[in-house]
Chains A and B, each alone.
Chain A
Amino acid sequence: MSDHDYRPKSKVGQWFNDRLPLLTLANHLTDYPTPKNLNYWWTFGGILTFCLITQIVTGLTLAMHYIAHADMAFESVEHIMRDVNYGWLIRYIHANGASMFFLAVYIHIFRSLFYGSYKAPREIIWIIGIIIYLLMMAAAFMGYVLPWGQMSFWGATVITNLFSAIPLVGEGIVTWLWGGYSVDNPTLTRFFTLHYLIPFLILGLVVLHIWALHVPGNNNPVGIDIKKPSKDTVPFHPYIVIKDGFALLMFMIVFAFFVFYAPNILGHADNYIEANPMVTPAHIVPEWYLLPFYAILRSVPDKLLGVVAMLSAILILAVLPWLDTSKIRSAVFRPLYKQFYWILVADVLILGYVGAMPAEGLYLLIARVATAYYFLHFLVILPVLGFKEKTLPVPLSITEPVLGGSPNLAAARNKESKIE
């Protein structure tokens, strides 16, 4: 059923829908034709929506009890943990929720990289996604500052100091960001304000992200354009809803394990020490999800170039649709790209690992090699690969490989099931 054919059955429904077509929208969302071969890597979009809403709801509740003041923030967090009814639960969901959010977003991004979901006609979805990712990092960083522990304070000092690398105006910008001459109460209050604002910006962008997705429709593991609706698609409801729901529940079990049994394992012990501008921690490390970029930052000896490298590492993703010259989307039919894809995954994990280690000796060397490779992958390997790679034959529709058509397609199908 296409959208404009839809007409509510009841008189009242028609009357309302003629004035505000919410029912048409609901109908579009439930009927939305979705490729039927989506694997579980595709369920992370729904999981991410859940993460965002969880963060907003728990965050609102925390904000009712939190005090954004340098002298009281740490104490107010302890107040939440001890005296607010189920405050410990809400705070642990919020703190671990950030980690879960990033875990999901990394899987979501790497799924996109594997199946070429960023390629035409989905470039705008991808770029909005990168902006969401950037905002997530900003929100997470500022959120980590709010408990006003040692890592909060010194993390904020290190990261805001990066702006001082900008020639001429750098120092001025840092003072402006801090609202003073060091990280202090004005910094905390503005970070709190922005931390409160950003999730709603993300929410708006998520709406655009989904809107942009609903124009061409989902990519799929085979990576081919499909006719919609057709034998290759299923309506979003109930097929995808129940599958996303199942995956979400599995995800929630992992989430619950962290919240109830290891709530502090992903954080740093130093953040339970109240911020003290006079004492610098031995190692200042960001949260795990920022470590790869932290490693890139530290691998460059020059401060300004380090900052440029770190920002480029993220922004390079925005031009990825044009760096990848291959016409084939899915790595299933790109034997060489598939190898390089897994090397990139390993490279990012290695960067994350060395990011947590002191920047010296062997670690620094590994960080430099891994940083160089990261850029090599996007700037050299991907553009060249599109011209050189001999891709496998691509099936004409989803139904064919699923039902097993020609021998070629059967091979493709085998490869596909391997990665699922």
Chain B
Amino acid sequence: MKNLFKLFSIIILIITSNSNSFAAEKVEYLKTDWSFKGLFGKFDRASLQRGYQVYTEVCASCHSMKYLSYRNLAEPGGPEFSEAQAKAIAASFEVTDGPNSDGEMFTRPGKLSDKFVMPYDNVKAAQAANGGAYPPDMSVLVKARGGGVDYIYSLLQGYEEAPSNVSLDDGVYYNKYMYGKKIRMAAPLSDGLVEYGDGTNATVEQMSKDVTTFLMWSAEPHLESRHQMGFKAIVYLIILTVLVYFSMKRIWSRVESEV
């Protein structure tokens, strides 16, 4: 056991000393309190609804969310718009459907069962409209980035004037949180860009937090039930483990050996 401890302390020492040297090169992400972290973490409904507004008014002009449907907006554990609201949101989009009985494609107002309408028909069209860069689909974006929500939250606020020693091509911007510090997306947010229905002041920081919360939900729509079930499961397992432990002690007391 002693050896084991020695070993672990050595390994932890190596790992921490290394990660420290990494941290020196890496920028620390901005921190904020996420309501969905922790054992009982839940989404802030109002923040999710505001986040959807930011997504749909700002991000959605370039970024798709192809794995989400409008019905998701009204489902428990999400922004929880009322069904009428979600229907109205869906109906505000034009969806291409068909072919009809004449063999023609047609457009109609969106329904709850429709997937989020995509800003571009395909990847090539998206690239053509964005100087060759493809705006990634945002459905699982926070899970697809190493820093997760903290990274996205920081990136949205990480735009700065480029230092004098960095030269930027046309259509390339400086962002201190981006890998390589260069990004093809112009700063998407500015104070007061959206007008929140609930009167919240739409600062860049507030919008970043709201839209990142929304993206966390879109990537993990069952996060709340996962946390709730997890707590129950682990409490159940702990109680059962204790009971089994005492049964084991009892059974093993019949033989002169330790467990």
Residues of A within 8 A of B (CB): 36-37, 75, 78, 81-82, 88-89, 92, 234, 238-239, 242-243, 245-246, 249-250, 252-253, 256-257, 259-261, 263-264, 269-270, 272-273, 282, 338, 342, 345-346, 349-350, 353, 402-403, 418-420
Contact = CB atoms under 8 A, between A and B. Distances in A.
A239 B230 contact: no
DSSP majority for the B interface? Answer: helix
27 contacts: A82-B67, A82-B72, A88-B220, A88-B222, A239-B251, A239-B255, A242-B252, A243-B248, A246-B244, A249-B237, A253-B237, A253-B238, A256-B230, A260-B226, A260-B229, A260-B230, A260-B231, A261-B227, A264-B143, A272-B140, A272-B143, A282-B179, A338-B3, A346-B11, A353-B14, A419-B1, A420-B1
A360 to B, nearest CB: 14
Given A78-B140, A346-B7, A249 B14 contact: no
A238 B227 contact: no
Contacts of A350: 11, 14
Nearest 3 pairs of A and B residues by beta carbon: A260-B230, A272-B144, A249-B241
A42 B207 CA distance: 54
A256 B259 CA distance: 25
B9 to A, nearest CB: 11
A75 B67 contact: yes
A420 B3 CA distance: 12
Interface of B: 1-4, 7, 10-11, 14-15, 39, 67, 72, 136, 139-140, 143-146, 148, 179, 219-222, 226-227, 229-231, 233-234, 237-238, 240-241, 244-245, 247-248, 251-252, 255-257, 259
A88 B240 contact: no
A269 B255 contact: no
A257 B230 CA distance: 7
B244 A249 contact: yes
A123 B20 CA distance: 45
B259 A243 contact: yes
B227 A256 contact: no
Contacts of A346: 7, 10-11
A242 B11 contact: no
Nearest to B230: A260
DSSP majority for the A interface? Answer: helix
Contacts of B140: 78, 272
Contacts of B255: 36, 234, 239
A420 B4 CA distance: 11
B252 A239 contact: yes
Nearest to B234: A256
Contacts of B247: 242
A410 to B, nearest CB: 15
A353 B15 contact: yes
A67 B128 CA distance: 31
Select the residue from A75, A260, A342 with max chain B CB neighbours within 10 A: A260
Given A246-B241, A261-B230, A349-B7, 18 more contacts: A36-B255, A37-B257, A75-B67, A78-B140, A234-B255, A243-B252, A256-B234, A257-B234, A260-B229, A260-B230, A261-B227, A263-B226, A269-B145, A272-B144, A345-B7, A346-B11, A402-B256, A420-B1
A69 B83 CA distance: 35
Contact of B240 (A238, A242, A249, A418): A249
A261 B144 contact: no
Nearest to A149: B144
A253 B244 CA distance: 14
Contacts of A234: 255, 257
Nearest to B15: A353
Contact of A242 (B136, B234, B238, B244): B244
A259 B232 CA distance: 13
Nearest to A234: B255
A338 B1 CA distance: 12
Nearest to A339: B3
Contacts of B251: 238-239, 242
Nearest to B148: A269
Contacts of A92: 226
Contacts of B229: 89, 260
Contacts of A263: 226
Contacts of A420: 1
A261 B39 contact: yes
A47 B179 CA distance: 42
Contacts of A272: 140, 143-144, 219
Nearest to A267: B143
Contacts of A402: 256-257
Select the residue from B4, B11, B257, B259 with max chain A CB neighbours within 10 A: B257
Given A246-B245, A256-B234, A82 B221 contact: yes
Nearest to B4: A342
A353 B221 CA distance: 33
A260 B148 CA distance: 17
Contacts of B1: 418-420
B143 A259 contact: no
Contacts of B72: 82
Nearest to B232: A260
A89 to B, nearest CB: 7
